[in-house]
Amino acid sequence: AQSVAQPEDQVNVAEGNPLTVKCTYSVSGNPYLFWYVQYPNRGLQFLLKYITGDNLVKGSYGFEAEFNKSQTSFHLKKPSALVSDSALYFCAVSSGSSNTGKLIFGQGTTLQVKP
Amino acid sequence: NAGVTQTPKFQVLKTGQSMTLQCAQDMNHEYMSWYRQDPGMGLRLIHYSVGAGITDQGEVPNGYNVSRSTTEDFPLRLLSAAPSQTSVYFCASRINRSWGEQYFGPGTRLTVT
């Protein structure tokens, strides 16, 4: 069975500092990994994905994520946080060997960027 | 394109009432899903469909029914609402069952009293 864990309910960072939002996963077969962001009272928006290839993937709004197979992790990063990055972030996983295409989400991490 | 649309935005039901949450997409996507979002639990998959006429259960299907008679529409039915179904419901679509980006609707906030 697929599962995703986001170990931090909330991450606080000062504007201009680097940020990391953590995600670990469990899946049979090759993982397809995603990050989504949710602003208040809105639906989720796609940020980036890892399917295959380079372990460092770049996405929208200056975000990037690093795939680490040995640690089964896919942490979201940004070199310099903005107050406008404050939102709820979700990691999600699908299995490359699955024929259902089910996308399973983590619990979400609230990112708070203080000026 | 309107993308993924959901109606209604808000709904209050009494226990035992039934209703249908509507979801439509105009991107000709084969794959559609319903999720519920609850505090501290993230998004949980209720039902999904890989194409018209084909549906299957997700993580939390009990109390919900779906059908997919057209590519565009994927309604979610609550046959007898319970307070445990108070949640925010999101519909999503993507081009097919493979790894494409998933597009989400704006959500329906449902309260069952």
**Out of A6-15, A19-28, B61-70, B93-102, which region has the weakest mean confidence (pLDDT)?**
B93-102
Secondary structure of residue A60 in the 3-state scheme: helix
Residue A97 pLDDT exceeds 80: no
Measured in angstroms, the CA of B32 and the nearest CA of chain A are apart by: 10
Cβ contact, residue pair A103, B33, below 8 Å: yes
Cβ contact, residue pair B44, A105, below 8 Å: yes
The region that residue A41 occupies, defined by phi over 0 for left and psi between -120 and 50 for alpha, beta otherwise, is left
pLDDT band at A29 (very low <50, low <70, confident <90, very high): confident
pLDDT band at A94 (very low <50, low <70, confident <90, very high): confident
Chain A positions in Cβ-Cβ contact with residue B21 (cut-off 8 Å): none
Distance CA B4, CA A100 (A): 21
Cβ contact, residue pair B45, A46, below 8 Å: no
Measured between CA atoms, the residue of chain B closest to residue A47 is B101
pLDDT at site A102: 85
Q: What does the mean pLDDT of chain A come to?
A: 93
| Nearest CB partner across the interface for B90, out of A43, A96, A108 | A43
Rg (CA), chain A: 14
- What does the pLDDT average to over B15-42? 94
Cβ contact, residue pair A101, B58, below 8 Å: no
pLDDT at site B18: 96
Cβ contact, residue pair A105, B4, below 8 Å: no
DSSP string, B27-57: S--SEEEEEEEETTTEEEEEEEEEETTEEEE
Measured in angstroms, the CA of A17 and the nearest CA of chain B are apart by: 26
Chain A positions in Cβ-Cβ contact with residue B50 (cut-off 8 Å): 100-101
- What does the pLDDT average to over A25-51? 91
